[in-house]
Structure 1
Amino acid sequence: MSTGAAAAVAATAVTGLAGEPAVAQEPEVLAVDFADRTGDFRGGATGTLYGFGDEGAPTQSLINGAHITNTSQKAPYGTQHPSGDAIKVEDGFFAKNGEDMYIYVQDYYPDWSYNGGRRPGDTRTYNLEDGTYTEGGNGVWDYLEVVEFVAEAVATDSDRPEDYVFIPFNEPDGGNWYPDWANQKDQFLGDWQASYEKIQEVWERHDLGHARIGGPGDTRWQPQRSADILEFAKANDSLPDIFIWHELGINNLGTYRQNFADYRELEASLGLDPIPVNITEYGMLRDMSVPGQLIQWFTMFEDTKVDAQTAYWNYAGNLSDNTARPNGANAGWWMFKWYGDLDGSETVRVTPPTPGGVDTLQGIGAVDEANRKATVLWGGTDNDVALDLSGLDPAIFGDTVDVEIRENAHTGAEGLAGTPRVIAAYDGVALENGQLQLDVATYDRYAGYQLVITPDQTRDVEAAAAAQPWQDSIEAEDMNLTAATVYTQDPQASGGWQFLASGGQDVGSFNQVGSRAEWNVEVPHDGTYRLQVIGGAPGVPGRHALFVDDESAGTVQYAADLALNANSRWKYRGSAEVLVDLTAGSHTLSIRSSADGTTKLPNSDITLDKVSLTSVEEGEPTQYPASGFRLEDGASLTWNGNTRGGAAISGDGRADLYATAIETGYYDLAVDWASTGASSVEVTVNGVPVTEVSASGKGKWRSTSTVYLNEGINEIELRSPNGAVVQSLTTIRNRGADDAAVSVEAEDMTLHGQASVTNLADSTGTNASGSSFVGWIGNGTANTVEIARDGFDAAGDYDLTVYYANAETSGQHDYNPQVVDRLLQVSEGGEQVGHAYFRYTYSWNSFSQRTIPVTLSTADQSLTLGNTSAWAPDIDRVVIAPRVIGDATTARR
Structure 2
Amino acid sequence: MSTGAAAAVAATAVTGLATPAAGAEPEVVAVDFADRTGDFRGGASGTLYGFGDEGAPTQSLINGAHITNSSQKAPYGTQHPSGDAIKIEDGFFAKHGEDMYIYVQDYYPDWAYHGGKRPGDTRTYNLEDGTYTEGANGVWDYLEVVEFVAEAVATDSDRPEDYVFIPYNEPDGGNWYPDWANQKDQFLADWQAAYEKIQEVWERHGLGHARIGGPGDTRWQPERSADILEFAKANGSLPDIFIWHELGINNLGSYRQNFADYRELEASLGLDPIPVNITEYGMLRDMSVPGQLIQWFTMFEDTKVDAQTAYWNYAGNLSDNTARPNGANAGWWMFKWYGDLDGSETVRVTPPTPNGVDTLQGIGAVDDANRRATVLWGGTDSDVALDLSGLDESVFGNKVDVEIRENALTGAEGLADTPRVIAAYDGIELEDGELRLDVPTYDRYAGYQLVITPSQSRDVEADAAAQPWRDSIEAENMDLTAATVYTQDPKANGGWQFLASGGKDVGSFNQVGSRAEWTVEVPHDGTYRLQVIGGAPGVPGRHALFVDDASSGTIQYAADLALNANSRWKYRGSAELLVDLTAGGHTLSIRSSADGTTRLPNSDITLDKVSLTSVEEGEPTLYPASGFRLEDGAALKWSGNCKGGAAISGDGRADLYATAIETGYYDVQVDWASTKASSVELTVNGDTVAAVDADAAGKWRSNATVHLNEGINEIELHSPDGAVVQSLTTIRDRAADDAAVTVEAEDMTLHGQASITTLADSTGTNASGNAFAGWIGNGTANTVEIARDGFAAAGDYDLTVHYANAETSGQHDYNPQVVDRLLEVQEGTEQVGHAYFRYTYSWNSFSQRTIPVTLSTADETLRLGNAAAWAPNIDRVVIAPRLIGEPTTAAR
TM-score scaled by structure 1? 0.99
Corresponding residue of 2:802: 803
Letter in 1 for 2:569: W
How much does 1:40 deviate?
0.3
Instruction: Give yes or no for contact 2:18–2:440 (8 Å, CA) kept in 1.
Output: no
Corresponding residue of 2:555: 556
What SS does the corresponding residue of 1:266 show, helix, strand or coil?
helix
Matches within 5 A, 1:322-471: 322-471=321-470
Corresponding residue of 1:866: 865
Corresponding residue of 2:12: 12
d(CA) in 2 for partners of 1:99, 1:810? 30
Is structure 2 residue 198 aligned with structure 1 residue 199?
A: yes
How much does 1:96 deviate?
0.1
Corresponding residue of 1:491: 490
Instruction: Give yes or no for contact 1:798–1:883 (8 Å, CA) kept in 2.
Output: yes
Corresponding residue of 1:94: 93
Letter in 2 for 1:14: V
Corresponding residue of 2:529: 530
Corresponding residue of 1:735: 734
1:524-554 deviations in Å (ceiling 9; x for gaps):
0000000000000000000000000000000
Corresponding residue of 2:142: 143
1:244-265 deviations in Å (ceiling 9; x for gaps):
0000000000000000000000
Letter in 1 for 2:530: L
1:841-878 deviations in Å (ceiling 9; x for gaps):
00000000000000000001100000000000000000
Corresponding residue of 1:631: 630
d(CA) in 1 for partners of 2:463, 2:664? 24
Letter in 1 for 2:706: V
d(CA) in 2 for partners of 1:24, 1:629? 38
Corresponding residue of 2:701: 702
1:582-637 deviations in Å (ceiling 9; x for gaps):
00000000000000000000000000000000000000000000000000000000
Instruction: Give yes or no for contact 2:19–2:440 (8 Å, CA) kept in 1.
Output: no
Corresponding residue of 2:480: 481
How much does 1:12 deviate?
2.8
Corresponding residue of 1:844: 843
Letter in 2 for 1:735: R
Matches within 5 A, 1:555-574: 555-574=554-573
1:709-736 deviations in Å (ceiling 9; x for gaps):
0000000000000000000000000000
Is structure 2 residue 246 aligned with structure 1 residue 240?
A: no
Equivalenced residues, count: 892
Instruction: Give yes or no for contact 2:544–2:551 (8 Å, CA) kept in 1.
Output: yes
Letter in 2 for 1:462: E
d(CA) in 2 for partners of 1:401, 1:19? 24
Corresponding residue of 1:270: 269
d(CA) in 2 for partners of 1:814, 1:85? 20
How much does 1:641 deviate?
1.4
How much does 1:10 deviate?
3.5
1:157-193 deviations in Å (ceiling 9; x for gaps):
0000000000000000011100000000000000000
d(CA) in 1 for partners of 2:448, 2:264? 35
Is structure 2 residue 171 aligned with structure 1 residue 184?
A: no
Corresponding residue of 2:43: 44
1:723-781 deviations in Å (ceiling 9; x for gaps):
00000000000000000000000111000010000000011000000000010000000
How much does 1:19 deviate?
4.5
Closer/same/farther in 2, CA of residues 520 and 22 from structure 1, 3 Å limit: farther
d(CA) in 2 for partners of 1:162, 1:257? 30
Closer/same/farther in 2, CA of residues 70 and 361 from structure 1, 3 Å limit: same
d(CA) in 2 for partners of 1:479, 1:712? 28
What SS does the corresponding residue of 1:33 show, helix, strand or coil?
strand
Corresponding residue of 1:650: 649
Letter in 1 for 2:317: N
Is structure 2 residue 274 aligned with structure 1 residue 281?
A: no
Corresponding residue of 1:673: 672
What SS does the corresponding residue of 1:214 show, helix, strand or coil?
strand
How much does 1:5 deviate?
4.5
Corresponding residue of 1:34: 33
Corresponding residue of 2:762: 763
d(CA) in 2 for partners of 1:165, 1:108? 16
d(CA) in 2 for partners of 1:657, 1:12? 28
Instruction: Give yes or no for contact 1:374–1:453 (8 Å, CA) kept in 2.
Output: yes
Letter in 1 for 2:267: A
Instruction: Give yes or no for contact 2:34–2:391 (8 Å, CA) kept in 1.
Output: yes
The CA RMSD measured in Å over matched residues stands at 0.8
Instruction: Give yes or no for contact 2:18–2:441 (8 Å, CA) kept in 1.
Output: no
How much does 1:830 deviate?
1.1
Letter in 2 for 1:359: D
What SS does the corresponding residue of 1:641 show, helix, strand or coil?
coil
How much does 1:132 deviate?
1.0
What SS does the corresponding residue of 2:452 show, helix, strand or coil?
strand
Letter in 1 for 2:648: I
How much does 1:665 deviate?
0.2
Is structure 2 residue 845 aligned with structure 1 residue 855?
A: no
Letter in 1 for 2:396: F
What SS does the corresponding residue of 1:449 show, helix, strand or coil?
strand
d(CA) in 2 for partners of 1:607, 1:25? 32
How much does 1:129 deviate?
1.3
Instruction: Give yes or no for contact 1:706–1:885 (8 Å, CA) kept in 2.
Output: yes
What SS does the corresponding residue of 1:737 show, helix, strand or coil?
helix
Instruction: Give yes or no for contact 1:2–1:430 (8 Å, CA) kept in 2.
Output: no
Instruction: Give yes or no for contact 2:10–2:438 (8 Å, CA) kept in 1.
Output: no
Instruction: Give yes or no for contact 1:5–1:430 (8 Å, CA) kept in 2.
Output: no
How much does 1:130 deviate?
1.4
What SS does the corresponding residue of 1:782 show, helix, strand or coil?
coil
Corresponding residue of 1:595: 594
d(CA) in 2 for partners of 1:795, 1:2? 65
What SS does the corresponding residue of 2:96 show, helix, strand or coil?
coil
Instruction: Give yes or no for contact 1:9–1:425 (8 Å, CA) kept in 2.
Output: no
Instruction: Give yes or no for contact 2:346–2:363 (8 Å, CA) kept in 1.
Output: yes
Is structure 2 residue 79 aligned with structure 1 residue 54?
A: no
Letter in 2 for 1:526: D
Letter in 2 for 1:377: L
Letter in 1 for 2:13: A
d(CA) in 2 for partners of 1:80, 1:26? 51
What SS does the corresponding residue of 2:83 show, helix, strand or coil?
coil
d(CA) in 2 for partners of 1:889, 1:412? 39
What SS does the corresponding residue of 1:31 show, helix, strand or coil?
strand
Q: After TM superposition, where is structure 1 displaced by more than 6 Å over at least 4 residues in a row?
A: none
Instruction: Give yes or no for contact 2:20–2:383 (8 Å, CA) kept in 1.
Output: no
How much does 1:20 deviate?
5.2
Instruction: Give yes or no for contact 1:5–1:429 (8 Å, CA) kept in 2.
Output: no
Corresponding residue of 2:888: 889
Corresponding residue of 1:832: 831
Is structure 2 residue 313 aligned with structure 1 residue 310?
A: no
Unmatched tracts of structure 2, length 5 or more: none
Instruction: Give yes or no for contact 1:28–1:353 (8 Å, CA) kept in 2.
Output: yes
1:471-528 deviations in Å (ceiling 9; x for gaps):
0000000000000000000000100000000000000000000000000000000000
d(CA) in 2 for partners of 1:574, 1:290? 13
1:260-305 deviations in Å (ceiling 9; x for gaps):
0000000000000000000000000000000000000000000000
Corresponding residue of 2:661: 662
Letter in 2 for 1:602: P
1:768-806 deviations in Å (ceiling 9; x for gaps):
000000100000001000000000000000000000000
How much does 1:9 deviate?
2.5
Corresponding residue of 1:153: 152
d(CA) in 2 for partners of 1:160, 1:622? 38
How much does 1:22 deviate?
4.9
How much does 1:11 deviate?
4.1
Corresponding residue of 1:726: 725
Identity of aligned residues (%): 89
d(CA) in 2 for partners of 1:592, 1:617? 25
d(CA) in 2 for partners of 1:713, 1:76? 30
Letter in 2 for 1:9: V
